[in-house]
Structure 1
């Protein structure tokens, strides 16, 4: 089996989950509608077919039996089984979203038998700064990003501008005065959740200055996002402005705008894409969605990711559904592409 580089994912929970907690983490919905279950969906069908057997159950078993088997084995055993079955060489872990304690990149990689790398979220860097004045904000950001980039495990930065302000970022670097004014507004409001177009644009350009690849969340997300503003085509003016840096830009997830992302990957030399969490969400339709993305996206610009979060089932499903959807030549190609974009990413995990 060709090993995959999962170039964007998250940690998994460190505790047992009841059915309601499990379903709340299964998809982008935070809960099923009354009288329904998220097991009754394309994702649920994929879970039954692929995950149930990994825990020694038939695909026809009841979801409650699956949750009972999960509890019987314990979350560490379940995590190990599913992540090892995913067949991963490396995991690039976004550590910027921790609503509850999740496994660290090293812990996730150890469970998968893979190598660990970190993707640093730009907004988290800004929100964690201890800066008292707007005047010192820009300098503090540059210092913090440089320090993060210098850590040996850091391989990329990530922007969640799509969630906060949308992807219609301006095509010019904000001036010092513009950054200072925007930072002043943010600090005056308590410096909580950063959601200002000028500051997101500043962070994105500042990330390019480090030379590390920059990932952008696009398309599909939870109910907090305005999906209309996550169309990667909105990012085109910013991409033109960033093109001279030649820093790789990775468009994550992309669905339902995957054809738009494929166009950008075709016409911008530094732009790459994946399907991320769309792969497991669409279940058996993954081959069709992948085919649509590859209508325009050059094969050398397509990477694999699961965007698995909280549940190891999602890391596993991303991998197994991608393998079922992809041409045999594309699977090793995505690993080659990842190594080209992220030169320091290890090729094989320990013990493989």
Structure 2
């Protein structure tokens, strides 16, 4: 494992186009929706220290340089050039970009991939798709017919779908598809109550979204585990998806469990038990920084090696792509080298498994063309 592993980032977002002040920059290093506690900074975290370790050398500075020096250099280069330098060092060849966080200040998937000299693939966020359809629907029937068309159309070109049911309700939803009458009633109530732009959070509609997407047999990413304070962590354990995973299997749809921390062992079990379930540890590695190797080792205790995927879940800062790639590569290398040195693994097996997790599993699951 001496040469850098090419990576497919199977779940990520765009980055900000503008230069950033210190407070805005630090805010992207936390899942909190509030400022840091008085007298503290989000830079003082495993993720903050990882950014200061791996990113300054890419902009011509020493590792661990003071944050103000790093941000001054970033502003000197300009946001676009800094992003190009940072993304260009990651070795990411493909970006599967969740389209659910589009803003005028954020790059599109194509812009992101262009800056990183890679290829963009669209991941359609189901809840946003439903809300866009609802904005122009005159009735529940219009909405449901339009949603079915929109999902089918998206399935023709997108790499897959994503659901944030974990945020909007939780993962403890009923596993089976809701009946047509139940769906029409829920749609009617939601359309009558929502203001334009209102979020879909009804568990019946969330289930309908999942099952509509599953019938296309395209992969579905599901947020599990930790995230911002909108969710309730105890209702985001992927183990809660056991019955849904069992029920959806006949559709031919692949489920990819995102992030998973601190329930990554639950996700590993589901990937072990069900042939159509895959997992990643995504942003868990970035946020645990110097401890990423331990989290990755726990995921690899049970997950089949052909069922674990790499992602960064980077959002806003190109630095998050750098950190995600670095801690993943280094953690995996240390783990595999250790297992080889103690005789638990052969060198040939280590050299074969590493590219599976880094890129080949994602290429197979999403049907991406080989480079």
Q: What is the CA–CA distance in structure 2 between the aligned matches of 1:166 and 1:174, rounded to whole Å?
A: 16
TM-score by length of 2: 0.91
Shift of 1:101: 2.6
The equivalent residue for 2:345 is none
**What TM-score do the two structures reach when normalised by structure 1?**
0.95
Q: Which whole-Å CA distance do the structure 1 matches of 2:244 and 2:143 have between them?
A: 22
Of residues 277-286 and 30-39 in structure 1, the stretch that sits farther from structure 2 once superposed is 30-39
Q: Deviation string for 1:277-308 (max 9, x for gaps)? A: 11110001011000001111000000000000
Q: Which piece of structure 1 moves more, 235-244 or 56-65?
A: 56-65
- 1:13 matched to 2:16? The reply is yes
1:309 aligned to 315, 324, 332, which one? 315
Structure 1 CA distance for aligned equivalents of residues 369 and 111 of structure 2 = 16
- Mind listing any 5+ residue stretches in structure 2 that lack a counterpart? 337-349
Query: Which residue of 100, 120, 125 corresponds with 1:121?
Result: 125
Q: Per the alignment, in what secondary structure is the counterpart of residue 36 of structure 2?
A: coil
Question: Which residue in the other structure is 1:2 paired with?
Answer: 5
Matched, 1:77 2:81: yes
SS of the counterpart of 2:120?
strand
- Asked if the contact 2:5/2:329 (under 8 Å) is kept, the reply is no
**Deviation of the 1:228 alpha carbon:** 1.2
Report the Cα distance in structure 2 between the residues aligned to 1:76 and 1:176, rounded to whole angstroms.
49
Q: Distance in 2 between matches of 1:146 and 1:316?
A: 35
1:160-208 Cα offsets, whole Å, 9 max, x none, are 0000000112121111100011111111112511101110100000001
Q: Tell me, in whole angstroms, the C-alpha distance in 1 between the residues paired with 2:48 and 2:116.
A: 23
**In structure 1, which of residues 39, 42, 46 is the aligned counterpart of residue 46 of structure 2?**
42
Query: 8 Å contact 1:88–1:112 — kept in the other structure?
Result: yes
Any idea what the Cα deviations from partners look like across 1:214-252, whole Å, max 9, x if unmatched? 000010101211111111111111111101122110000
- In structure 2, how many angstroms separate the alpha carbons of the residues matched to 1:5 and 1:254? 19
Where 1:217 maps in the other structure, the secondary structure is: strand
Q: Distance in 2 between matches of 1:331 and 1:110?
A: 26
Q: Distance in 2 between matches of 1:263 and 1:100?
A: 40
- State yes or no: 1:259 paired with 2:265: yes
C-alpha separation between the residues in 2 aligned to 1:169 and 1:114?
37
Taking the TM superposition and a 5 Å limit, the aligned residue runs for 1:151-166 are 151=157, 154-166=158-170
Separation in 1, partners of 2:103, 2:202: 22
Cα offset for 1:137?
2.5
Are 2:71 and 1:67 equivalent residues in the alignment?
Answer: yes
Separation in 2, partners of 1:279, 1:331: 16
The structure 2 residue matched to 1:53, chosen from 50, 53, 57, is 57
Q: Quick check: 1:240 aligned with 2:246?
A: yes
| Distance across 2 between alignment mates of 1:333 and 1:158 | 22
Deviation at 1:99, TM superposition (A): 4.8
- Displacement of 1:100 in angstroms is 4.8
Segment drifting more, 297-306 vs 24-33: 24-33
Q: CA deviation at 1:131?
A: 1.1
Which residue pairs with 2:113 in the alignment?
Answer: 109
Aligned residue runs from structure 1 range 198-277, under 5 A? 198-277=204-283
In structure 2, what is the equivalent of residue 97 of structure 1? 101
**Correspondence for 1:33:** 37
| 3-state SS of 1:61 partner | coil
How much has 1:331 moved relative to structure 2?
3.1
> Structure 1 residue 67: deviation in Å?
0.9
1:167 maps to 2:171: yes
Within a 5 Å distance, the mapping from 1:325-336 to structure 2 comes to: 325-326=331-332, 327=336, 329=351, 330-334=353-357, 335-336=359-360
User: What is the distance in 1 between the residues matched to 2:271 and 2:120?
Assistant: 27
Could you tell me which residue of structure 1 aligns to residue 347 of structure 2? Answer: none
